[in-house]
Amino acid sequence: MTAAPAAAETAAAKPDERLAYRGPIQRLLIRPEIGALIGAAVIWIFFWAVTDVFGTTAGVNNYLDVSATLGIMSVAVALLMIGGEFDLSSGAMTGATGMLVVLLVKETGEFGGAGFPAIVAIPLTLAFALAIGWANGTMVEKTALPSFIVTLGTFFILRGAKLGFAKLFTDKVIVEGLDDAPDHGFWENIFGAVWVRNDHVWDSFLGGRDVVYGVLLTAGALLLVYGILELTFQRRSQLASGSMPVAAGGIIVALAGLIALTATDGSGANWIWGSVMTVGAAAGLYGIAAWRYERLPRPEGALDLGGSTGRNVVVGLGAVVLGVVVGLTLDSESQTELGFLLTTQGLRAIAFAGLVIFGAILLLLAARNAGKTSPRSQMILTALTSIVVVALAFIVQSEADSRKFRAEFFAVLLATAFVVFLVGVLRTMFVERRAADETADKRGRMLAMGGVTLAFVAVAIRLLWSTTAENDVLPGRVTWRVSVLYFLLFAAVASYVLLRTRFGSWTFAVGGNKNAARQVGVPAARTKTALFMVVAGAGWLVGMLIAFRLNSVQANVGDGQEFFYIIAAVVGGNLLTGGYGSVIGAAIGAVIMAMSFQGIPFAGWNSDWRFLFVGAILLLAVLVNNYVRSKAEAAS
């Protein structure tokens, strides 16, 4: 028996003890797109290591170009999926709108071409696409049939119409002649514009492209690290402004070292300026931390290797040594093929990387474990781990054949060692925050986001502009299509709409629990129909991009692509059942698909294997999503 009035009196507000504080990293890890982001990084590193082209501008251009049309659609499909529906006609829609616009401007007169100018044909095509989207949505809403069935019908209608009309008008399975339009040039600038990288040389402005790239990238990294510090550590009640000059001086030295590093040549100068830069960055970050965050007492006590810590250290070091031994003994020249993916060279790399990563992770775990009892042990073990990483960097440098391992990978390994060491030191010196702090959280988030944005701008500059030296060396031309720009813009706008507007809220709601949404006054039918129209509109955009690319469209363009859109959305963390997901995740999912499709031929493997690859990625993504969902929805 429940005595309600008595219970009401004890209802005094008290903090909910069941809610533990979640640090910034944990909060980041439950985002739906994080799995896709990690997956993209792993796949990128994999193909970067096994191919020559993948990491170059030409390679990036290649898979970003493929991901653009795929990505625009998967972003739209992800929105619809979050709203709880599918659109199987989305693939055929891209081809249908492309064909329709060609047929409308084609100048053969009579039946085969209407001869409209593009300014009439393009809006007419958009109206056609939106009408189909509206019809899809309305049918699904009025009949309450699964959208799977309704849009399967639309898919076959569009597919049949494409082939039928193409044959009827041209007797071929292709329609041609978009350039018949009198205003073709104007519209080609919008849908077919290209940016030839080789023609855009940036040699001396602001010290040259590479200086600007390096400075922006470093500044971005510093901002990101500062943001993470702000999110992680407890602020002092009174700022120690005495450390501010250390912070500012360190950062200035780091940037100066970087500029000198890019401006000078030769291995000796590289070493000097690289060291200057590292010392500066370390001093700068230490200065920031000492200025703002609360100190821990000086770590004391002897080195404690009790329990699993000692075992982890031994096994970890053993694994690293074994990895090095295997790497050095296997013949690096041999290309003997033992099976799929497994040349002797490949085996060597896999064994080396696998054992070494395993060992390093064990060492870091040991360090963390030791930190529970003795901060000093943590510091020593972290230092040991970074020394191991530095040693590995030198082994790689002396052993590897290609420049990318000897120079770039070497630098990345050194930077990793630096970060591992710095994190270890800071964690033993300053107090980690264990409670929410809105202003610190907000500032930390803005700093981190600013850092990531700067890094993106830096990479974009590097990808879009060439230098005279590069033009002399590189054989081919790199041509960026405007479709990549549309992809990025569309993903950004869609993400804004989903996360920040009422329509976005309603999208989540109709996908998560349509009846509840309707009950509180969300126009559920209108929201879903609008989502179908967004997908159709995206199909129109992609149709225009395809049509203006070649001025002709094949009848089978887009057929079957709808599954890749859905796969990209699922890989990006969107739930098939709706109500949860991210369009940024879907965009990353599209890039993952494009990277796998293009990376396999780059690596010189038979591209018959690529569906195996895509299937494995899909399964993995679904398993991860399932796990995340059970965490997020863990009910009572």
Q: Shortest gap between Cβ of 514 and another protein (angstroms)? A: 9
- Among residues 144, 302, 473, 635, the one that binds another protein under rule CB under 8 A: 635
Q: Is the CB of 30 or the CB of 341 nearer to another protein? A: 30
DSSP, residue by residue, 297-347 = PPP-S----TTHHHHHHHHHHHHHHHHHHHHHHS-SS---B-STT-BHHHH
∠606-609-614 over CA atoms, to 5°?
140
Residues 130-149 that bind another protein (CB under 8 A): none
Q: Is the CB of 357 or the CB of 449 nearer to another protein? A: 449
Name which of 212, 193, 217, 258 is nearest 467 in CA terms.
212
Q: Residue 434 interacts with another protein (CB under 8 A)?
A: no
Q: Is the CB of 205 or the CB of 496 nearer to another protein? A: 496
∠106-111-116 over CA atoms, to 5°?
35
Q: Is the CB of 183 or the CB of 437 nearer to another protein? A: 437
Residue 224 neighbours by CB under 8 Å, 6+ apart: 447, 448, 451, 452, 455
- The one-character DSSP state at 406 is I
- Among residues 270, 344, 373, 513, the one that binds another protein under rule CB under 8 A: 513
Choices 10-18, 156-164, 183-191, 214-222 (CB under 8 A): range interacting with another protein: 10-18
- # residues contacting another protein (CB under 8 A): 40
| CA–CA distance, 211 with 192 (Å, rounded to integer) | 32
- Among residues 200, 295, 403, 502, the one that binds another protein under rule CB under 8 A: 502
Site string for another protein, 335-374 (x = CB under 8 A): ----------------------------------------
Q: Residue 329 interacts with another protein (CB under 8 A)?
A: no
Q: Is the CB of 75 or the CB of 557 nearer to another protein? A: 75
Q: Residue 3 interacts with another protein (CB under 8 A)?
A: yes
Q: Give the burial string for 187-197 (b: 16+ CB within 10 Å, else e).
A: bbeebbeeeeb
Residues 534-593 that bind another protein (CB under 8 A): 579-580
- Among residues 303, 516, 612, 623, the one that binds another protein under rule CB under 8 A: 516
Q: Is the CB of 397 or the CB of 505 nearer to another protein? A: 505
Site string for another protein, 166-185 (x = CB under 8 A): --------------------
Name which of 255, 250, 248 is nearest 279 in CA terms.
250
Q: Give the burial string for 395-409 (b: 16+ CB within 10 Å, else e).
A: bbbeebeeebbeeeb
| CA–CA distance, 461 with 164 (Å, rounded to integer) | 46
First to last CA, the chain: 22
Q: Where are the alpha helices (DSSP H) in 405-523?
A: 410-429, 438-464, 468-473, 482-500, 502-512, 514-519
Site string for another protein, 70-99 (x = CB under 8 A): ------------------------------
Q: Shortest gap between Cβ of 435 and another protein (angstroms)? A: 10
**Three state DSSP letters for 23-34:** CHHHHHHCCCCH
Write down the residue that tokens 């060609």 correspond to: 102
- Among residues 144, 302, 473, 634, the one that binds another protein under rule CB under 8 A: 634
| CA–CA distance, 490 with 546 (Å, rounded to integer) | 17
Q: Is the CB of 239 or the CB of 436 nearer to another protein? A: 436
Q: Residue 4 interacts with another protein (CB under 8 A)?
A: yes
Q: Is the CB of 90 or the CB of 582 nearer to another protein? A: 582
DSSP, residue by residue, 346-396 = HHHHHHHHHHHHHHHHHHHHHHHHHHHH-HHHHHHHHHHHHHHHHHHHHHH
Residue 314 neighbours by CB under 8 Å, 6+ apart: none
Choices 206-214, 222-230, 235-243, 515-523 (CB under 8 A): range interacting with another protein: 515-523
Q: Residue 206 interacts with another protein (CB under 8 A)?
A: no
Residues 460-499 that bind another protein (CB under 8 A): 496
For the chain, the farthest-separated pair of C-alpha atoms sits apart, in whole angstroms, at 92
Contact residues: another protein, CB under 8 A: 1-5, 7-8, 11-16, 19, 436, 496, 500-502, 504-506, 508-509, 512-513, 515-517, 519-522, 579-580, 632-636
